[in-house]
Structure 1
Amino acid sequence: MIKVGLHQYPPMDQVIFGKPAGQALAEEAERLNAHRVFLIASHTLNTKTDEIEKIRKALGSRYAGTFDGVPQHTTRTSAVAAAARAVGAGADLIVAVGGGSVVDAAKIVLMCIEHKITDEGGLDGFEVVSTPEGPRPGPFRAPRVRMIAIPSTLSGGEYNAGSLVTDTRRKLKQIFHHPLMMPRSIILDPAITVHTPQNLWLGSGTRAMDHGIEAVCSPRGNPLVESVCLRGLRYLYDGLLATKMNPDDLEARQSCQLGSWLSAFGLQCRVPMGASHAIGHVLGGTCDVPHYFCTAVMMPSVLEFNRPDTAGAQDKLAEAWGVPGAKASETFAEFIRQLELPRRLSEVGVTEDKFDLIGRNAMLSVFTRANPRPIKGPEDIVKILRMAA
């Protein structure tokens, strides 16, 4: 048991569930006295479903505009374009409706608005930097315009104040952070998620589990984070298997959403993540692997690598998944097999000739330094990659 530590409560007002998204958002806009609500939405939700139109109608005269051009892995270019549209619309509240890339875009848009950043180079110098003393955030001012998130996937990025943005000039995904990039409110509506492709839904659910697993294994966790994350991991384990069997099961979908919320509790309270996050960010930004497949292919190997330093925590993971006494790495690998997601790096197009580059880039991550088993250099990252090959 961790005997010394602390717990940070995030600057977020509330999580709302059990109401249609449009109704909940209209009530929030009124509560916050927002008159120009700008939507940053999933392109698919905006063009192939009526979900965004329902939200626009619910907002009525408070609706200010929509941007739906955010690509996978949230690029600086798209964030700057969205910010320009929001400024032009006179936005006083930003709302992200979609998956993790959309949520990350909305967060960084707040800072582009605040600092009048109009080109991708304007974000240089604001990224989080890894130092021997710990992560050093960039010099952002507190944003005057805040955001609300309505997630359509389970990746859980809405529950923390960081944003992952890809610099396409260098093919490098970077972290940006300010406490008030945290959404003021998060609205959970399982009805919106039925439009999410099955592999994205299931894969993003495993990404949410990554938050919980790495928080439970972190030496900088605490009893509250451990208890909440273990419960969230159970919600996700059961809920993902249920939605795999029946994608129309809204109750199971809501269980997954609750699981994503609870599993993100550690990251939300700034318990640092570890090697799975570090490697996953590089796989996405450098190798173009979909974010929602990274945990599926990497987590069993990361768990195996970390087991000498996290055996007790991993035993609790296996117990939470209903298999006490089993190895967490093997249990998670079997779970991925049942979900029919990719299980090896070779299945997502990552070959051994890229391992050295991934290793070097992963060493730039603040999460590499926080891994529970010390990672001494790129060769340790390569060792994990070979286990996952």
Structure 2
Amino acid sequence: MSATHLNQSDSTNIRGYYSFTELKGLYYGPGSLATALPKFLDSLGGKKALIITGKSLYTKTDVVKKVESVLTEYGAYGTTFYEIGEHAPVAGIRKCIQTMRDSGADMIISVGGGSPIDAAKAVIYFLHKEHGGEILPHVAIPTTLSAAEYTTGAGFTDDDGNKVTVSDPRLAPAGIILDAELTLTTPDRLWLSTGMRALDHAVENLYRPLVPPPVKVLCYQALADLFKYLPLSKAEPNNVVYRQKLQVASWMSLWPTKYEKYSPVGLSHLLGHKLGARYHIPHGITSCLTLGPVVALKAETASQEDKEWLAGALFHLRQPSTGSVESDILQLSKSINELVIDLGLKSNLVQYKVPKEGIPDIVERAMSGKDDPTFPRVVKLLEDIYEQ
């Protein structure tokens, strides 16, 4: 085949597209909240901010109070909405939209994990859809490693318990603050499991459609840092340096990218979305369940190019090659499973009351039907981890 007949699906090595998101700036470092947030207030022109967060973070820690204090000092504090639940139920988003209207706020500050950050994006999406005009500025201050702040989509749970996603290139936050000191109150299990979610991003970006090679190389470094610093952070949970390293690794795992057209997530994420929304399993835990087995399946089903990207991870993990691409991928799968165990995060579907007879339906929803030839193998994949 001549070069003139190649298209994007033939090879991501030599043809593709890349553009940055609407992100105006990202500040990182312990203690950066106090200096970074005022700079964003000035650059984004916000006069009154609505904080969107979760109930536990608001009532059990002083993290949100610190953000409120900075906003108050600069005369930009509006109010705080803290009724965003896990997986961002749409009822909370509706209530938040009304709070936004009532407060007269002209910008949003999301504080917490993936649920409040995605909820903030969903609020912005629905308000813009209703009224048009400029997209509201959004500054994300994450306290987990879920990496929701780097995407242009927002995931939430509808009234029937299904995962729903809305997407717009303009939904990416305009500002991000990675202040590791604000993560010290994050529960260990949540911190470490969202680190596995970041690992899931990094691994799946090695074979996800439309991801350009430079981003894949960033994912290799993310993998190396996540494998190194997650166990260190577990051993020393108050070590701010380790936590800051992990926040940067999470950033590299899902580098802000504006795709020319929608790029679907990988199989581990697809399964996790359906399991998480329906059975109330935290997304970090779904990654612990599905990522290792999905990588093992890719050793058989992935394209040759995707296999080579996956196998290349061993070099960055400072592990020797086994001698074949497929065996290297299986070794990567094994290393992921061992990391889950080392972090104390091993679980199974029985613990979350997932009925075994419901597995084919979960897979059918994740794969948008049964036409994919790998459908039976993915069903078996979940059945194998049912009581692992």
Please classify the TM superposition score into its range, dividing by the shorter chain length.
Answer: 0.7 to 0.9
Pick from 156, 168, 179 the counterpart of residue 189 of structure 1. 179
Q: Secondary structure at the match of 1:12?
A: coil
Structure 1 position 20, deviation (Å): 3.0
| Counterpart for residue 178 of structure 1 | 168
Query: Per-residue deviation at 1:145?
Result: 1.2
Q: Given the superposition, is the C-alpha separation of residues 4 and 302 from structure 1 closer, same or farther in structure 2, using an over 3 Å criterion? A: same
Q: What residue number does 2:9 align with?
A: none
SS in 2 for 1:217: coil
Secondary structure of 2:52's aligned partner? strand
1:382 aligns with 2:379: yes
Give 1 or 2 for the bigger CA radius of gyration. Answer: 2
Q: Secondary structure at the match of 1:216?
A: coil
Query: Alpha carbons of 1:239 and 1:375: their partners in 2 closer, same or farther (altered >3 Å)?
Result: farther
Give the structure 2 partner of residue 238 of structure 1.
Answer: 228
Within the candidate set 63, 67, 73, 1:51 is matched to 63
Instruction: Measure how far apart 1:226 and its partner are.
Output: 1.2
- Pairwise CA distance, 1:295: 0.6
CA distance in 2, matches of 1:251, 1:281: 31
8 Å Cα contact 1:82-1:109 kept in structure 2: yes
Q: Which residue type is aligned with residue 313 of structure 2?
A: L
The corresponding residue for 1:65 is 79
Q: 1:179 to 1:214 in 2, by over 3 A?
A: same
Q: Which amino acid aligns with 1:153?
A: T
> Does 2:364 align with 1:360?
yes
Normalised TM-score (structure 1): 0.86
Secondary structure of the 1:34 match is coil
C-alpha distance in structure 1 between counterparts of 2:244 and 2:380, whole Å: 38
| Equivalent-residue separation in structure 1 for 2:91 and 2:209 (angstroms) | 37
Q: Distance in 2 between matches of 1:100 and 1:319?
A: 31
What is the Cα deviation at residue 274 of structure 1? Answer: 1.1
- Aligned to 1:94, the other structure's residue is in SS state strand
SS at match of 1:66: strand
CA distances 1:156-203 after superposition (whole Å, capped 9, x unpaired): 0110011111013x2210111011110001100101111111110000
1:2 is aligned to 13
Q: Distance in 2 between matches of 1:378 and 1:81?
A: 39
The equivalences for 1:185-224 within 5 A come to 185-218=175-208, 220-224=210-214
RMSD: 2.1
Aligned to 2:252: 262
Mapped partners of 1:284, 1:384: distance in 2:
17
Task: Look up the match of 2:343.
Answer: 339
Q: Secondary structure at the match of 2:59?
A: helix
- Which stretch has the larger CA shift, 4-13 or 341-350? 341-350
Partner residue of 2:46 out of 14, 31, 34: 34
CA contact (8 A) 1:110 1:143 kept: no
- Cα deviation for residue 266 of structure 1 reads 7.2
Please, which of 272, 275, 290 is the counterpart of residue 298 of structure 1? 290
- Cα separation, partners in 2 of 1:271 and 1:356, compared to 1, 3 Å: closer
Instruction: Please show how residues 53-202 of structure 1 align to structure 2 within 5 Å.
Output: 53-60=65-72, 61-116=75-130, 143-168=134-159, 170-202=160-192
Measured in 2, the distance between the counterparts of 1:50 and 1:218 equals: 38
Whole-angstrom CA distance in 2 between matches of 1:92 and 1:66 = 13
- Sequence identity, in percent? 28
Pick closer, same or farther for the CA change 1:167–1:271 going to 2, 3 Å: closer
Deviates more, 1:216-225 or 1:237-246: 216-225
Instruction: Give the one of 239, 242, 247 matched to 1:252.
Output: 242
Q: Distance in 1 between matches of 2:287 and 2:49?
A: 34
Q: How far, CA to CA, are the matches of 2:318 and 2:354 in structure 1?
A: 32
Q: How many positions carry a matched residue from both structures?
A: 358
4+ residue runs over 4 A deviation? 266-271
1:173, 1:274 → 2: CA distance?
A: 15
* Structure 2 counterpart of 1:131: none
- Would you say the 8 A contact 1:160–1:182 is kept in 2? yes
Q: TM-score, normalised by structure 2?
A: 0.87
Counterpart selection for 1:23 from 8, 11, 35? 35
Deviations 1:277-298 (A, max 9, x none): 1100000112221112011010
Q: Which runs of 5+ in 2 are unaligned?
A: 1-11, 322-327
CA contact (8 A) 1:296 1:336 kept: yes
Any idea what the Cα deviations from partners look like across 1:230-277, whole Å, max 9, x if unmatched?
111212111111111110010000010000000002766565421001
Match of 1:134 in 2: none
| Contact 2:142/2:177 (<8 A) preserved | yes
